[in-house]
A and B are shown apart, each in its own frame.
Chain A
């Protein structure tokens, strides 16, 4: 950010900084006043508008985060890193990392990959598109608790799902789909899929359809057009969608408690952090787990972004950039 900005500012038609009623007299005849020089680099009184938002976030987000990091380094006993050592040496705690990843990664991947063909079919314009999109997006409003409730009823041993399979003779005894890994997985898919679909659909409708038609005139078949034109243009959007879906799935908490097996198989990091804070009142350990949770998530995000950086991220011709 340190390069001296010349007059060639990329932003078009910036309103020229007006001298103002109390324009400070220039200190030297050759140098423009400080205010003008600052304004040339984009600093003027307009930036005061940022102040309320930034101050709020610093007070409510940045400061508590720093406080949490500090708290995690002041364990109840032992050296400065004792909490972190304890977390990684206790398999009951460190196992939560794997359990969280085992849920969040496949769920996010599934949601993104399942959205692609559906969004591909739904791009363009046709009657009923708005209705179908709305129906696919509606589960966003269901809320984790209703979904969890519904999963308990519907996928339960006496629920309609098992009943249909039993009647059809596909299974001999009810499948065990709740209070374990699968219950949480279903809930992550039901709440996460609409979100991923919405993002993929908007990225896909941002790709100029004439590009595909141009490919068709050059003799590319449908599969080649998807493989060579659409997918490369869509890939950065897919990476972003994956990141956001992963973020949603990674912070799974209510459903892991309600439809999972919170004592063992779905004891995710959020549960471990919550238990440390509000059941054992060990706020330093809770902060440690919260910090590690953020760290592990950022590692995955960074890896995806690294991969995304190698993709084509230029203009896609449509409204998306």
Chain B
């Protein structure tokens, strides 16, 4: 799925290599590339300083710590019960992915194929959780959950994470579904397939790339979703990012290096997920509508 589009490819012609292009370009290009380089250099240094610190025996002054050790990773693993936390993170993320796909894909199909009175209202209901700050609906939702005793449980954490995940699946899947020719479905129906058969035999096999993309993206977002999980999580239902925040927000209790070690583990986890996601889907394809223009 080359999303850069056939038109762009035709315009650019054979790939010239961006370095050569940059060398040929004027001062404006140099400013842009300089800015990018400055941003990336600072970012790399920022990440590196966390990584270096997570291996440092101690690092108070100087360019580098005096000695290195891997003890902090072992300590972080023990101190923060990382095995449990990772298990909770995994369960929450996978259940959220499963449920949001199960509910979201059929909804996206109905929205892509039908124009019905009230469609605008449904779209608004889907857009609002994406647009409003999580705290806005998170606080009343958490209040309700404390009232009915759902807060602190795994089910509660899964439920709050569904709120942003479900609309996200619908919004990502809709353009993928619009791409599928309606005639294929019509043909299947003509051969006697019911709606369920159309789904399992025709649509889902065609939608596999889109479903995978949506699944991995929801996985990444759920692992990274801090605010909502933080509001309802109890001690046994913390995900990794909430455990990390709690450790970082109460400095002095834990060694800074152990917190950094945990942050590095977290980053490795989500970077792995993102790399998997990027191999399935071109990032620019997610946000723009993927209707390919037929080049005349």
**Contact residues of A with B, CB < 8 Å?**
1-2, 9-15, 18, 41-47, 49-50, 52-54, 56-58, 60-65, 67-68, 71, 114, 117-118, 120-129, 132-151, 153-155, 158-161, 163, 190, 193, 198-199, 201-203, 205-206, 208-210, 213, 243, 247, 250-251, 253-254, 257-258, 269-270, 273-274, 277-278, 283, 286-287, 290-291, 293-294, 297-298, 301, 317-321
Give the residue of A42, A114, A202 whose beta carbon is less than 8 angstroms from that of B114: A42
- Residue interface bits B33-44, CB-to-A below 8 A is 1, else 0: 101100110110
Nearest-CB residue, chain B, relative to A319: B5
Set of chain A residues within 8 Å of B259, measured between Cβ atoms: 149
Nearest-CB residue, chain A, relative to B115: A42
Set of chain A residues within 8 Å of B12, measured between Cβ atoms: 124-126, 209
Is B131 an interface residue, CB under 8 A from the partner?
yes
**In the docked arrangement, what's the CA distance between A125 and B17, Å?**
9
**In the docked arrangement, what's the CA distance between A290 and B4, Å?**
40
Residue among A45, A65, A132 having the largest count of chain B Cβ atoms under 10 Å = A65
B102 engages A52 (CB within 8 Å): yes
A12 engages B182 (CB within 8 Å): yes
A61 engages B128 (CB within 8 Å): yes
Nearest-CB residue, chain A, relative to B22: A121
B18 engages A127 (CB within 8 Å): yes
Which of B66-74, B84-92, B271-279 contacts its partner? B271-279
Contact of A251 with B63 at beta-carbon distance under 8 Å, contacts A143-B224, A273-B139 already known = no
B61 engages A64 (CB within 8 Å): no
A127 engages B15 (CB within 8 Å): yes
Count how many chain B residues have C-beta atoms less than 8 Å from C-beta atoms of the other chain: 115
**In the docked arrangement, what's the CA distance between A137 and B40, Å?**
11
Give min CB distance, B16 to chain A, whole Å. Answer: 6
**In the docked arrangement, what's the CA distance between A65 and B285, Å?**
32
**In the docked arrangement, what's the CA distance between A247 and B290, Å?**
24
**In the docked arrangement, what's the CA distance between A163 and B61, Å?**
10
7 sample A-B contacts, Cβ–Cβ < 8 Å, listed by A number: A13-B186, A52-B106, A54-B125, A143-B263, A273-B135, A290-B136, A294-B132
A53 engages B104 (CB within 8 Å): yes
Is B270 an interface residue, CB under 8 A from the partner?
yes
Give min CB distance, B77 to chain A, whole Å. Answer: 17
Give min CB distance, B101 to chain A, whole Å. Answer: 11
Give the residue of B21, B28, B133, B275 whose beta carbon is less than 8 angstroms from that of A294: B133
B291 engages A319 (CB within 8 Å): yes
Give min CB distance, A153 to chain B, whole Å. Answer: 4
**In the docked arrangement, what's the CA distance between A71 and B140, Å?**
8
B290 engages A319 (CB within 8 Å): yes
Give the residue of B43, B107, B287 whose beta carbon is less than 8 angstroms from that of A202: B287
Contact of A141 with B274 at beta-carbon distance under 8 Å, contacts A64-B141, A153-B53 already known = yes
B18 engages A128 (CB within 8 Å): yes
B266 engages A68 (CB within 8 Å): no
Set of chain B residues within 8 Å of A67, measured between Cβ atoms: 140, 143-144
Residue among B136, B167, B195, B260 having the largest count of chain A Cβ atoms under 10 Å = B136
**In the docked arrangement, what's the CA distance between A149 and B129, Å?**
29
B8 engages A290 (CB within 8 Å): no
Set of chain B residues within 8 Å of A321, measured between Cβ atoms: 289, 291
B267 engages A251 (CB within 8 Å): no
Contact of A146 with B267 at beta-carbon distance under 8 Å, contacts A125-B8, A139-B43, A277-B143 already known = yes
**Contact residues of B with A, CB < 8 Å?**
3-5, 7-9, 11-12, 15-18, 21, 28-29, 31-33, 35-36, 39-40, 42-43, 45-47, 49-50, 53, 60-61, 63, 102-104, 106-107, 109-111, 113-120, 122, 125-126, 128-144, 159-160, 162-163, 166-167, 170, 182-183, 185-186, 189, 195, 220, 224, 226-227, 231, 241, 244-245, 248-249, 259-260, 263-264, 266-267, 270-271, 273-275, 278, 283-293
Set of chain B residues within 8 Å of A270, measured between Cβ atoms: 133, 135, 227
Nearest-CB residue, chain A, relative to B54: A149
Ranked nearest first, the 8 interchain pairs of A and B with the lowest CB-CB distance are A68-B140, A251-B133, A53-B107, A42-B116, A202-B284, A49-B106, A209-B11, A150-B46
Set of chain A residues within 8 Å of B16, measured between Cβ atoms: 126
Set of chain B residues within 8 Å of A117, measured between Cβ atoms: 28, 31-32, 35
Give the residue of B46, B162, B267 whose beta carbon is less than 8 angstroms from that of A141: B267
Contact of A14 with B18 at beta-carbon distance under 8 Å, contacts A213-B11, A273-B139 already known = no
Contact of A145 with B245 at beta-carbon distance under 8 Å, contacts A1-B117, A159-B49 already known = yes
**In the docked arrangement, what's the CA distance between A291 and B195, Å?**
41
Give the residue of B110, B138, B162, B284 whose beta carbon is less than 8 angstroms from that of A46: B110
Contact of A149 with B103 at beta-carbon distance under 8 Å, contacts A46-B113, A143-B267 already known = no
Set of chain B residues within 8 Å of A121, measured between Cβ atoms: 29, 32-33
Give the residue of A2, A15, A60, A125 whose beta carbon is less than 8 angstroms from that of B141: A60
**In the docked arrangement, what's the CA distance between A163 and B49, Å?**
13
Set of chain A residues within 8 Å of B141, measured between Cβ atoms: 60-61, 64
B143 engages A286 (CB within 8 Å): yes
Set of chain A residues within 8 Å of B163, measured between Cβ atoms: 57, 60-61
Nearest-CB residue, chain A, relative to B131: A247
B135 engages A251 (CB within 8 Å): yes
Set of chain A residues within 8 Å of B185, measured between Cβ atoms: 15
**In the docked arrangement, what's the CA distance between A169 and B160, Å?**
51
Nearest-CB residue, chain B, relative to A121: B32
**In the docked arrangement, what's the CA distance between A254 and B249, Å?**
9
Set of chain B residues within 8 Å of A9, measured between Cβ atoms: 115
A141 engages B224 (CB within 8 Å): yes
A253 engages B139 (CB within 8 Å): no
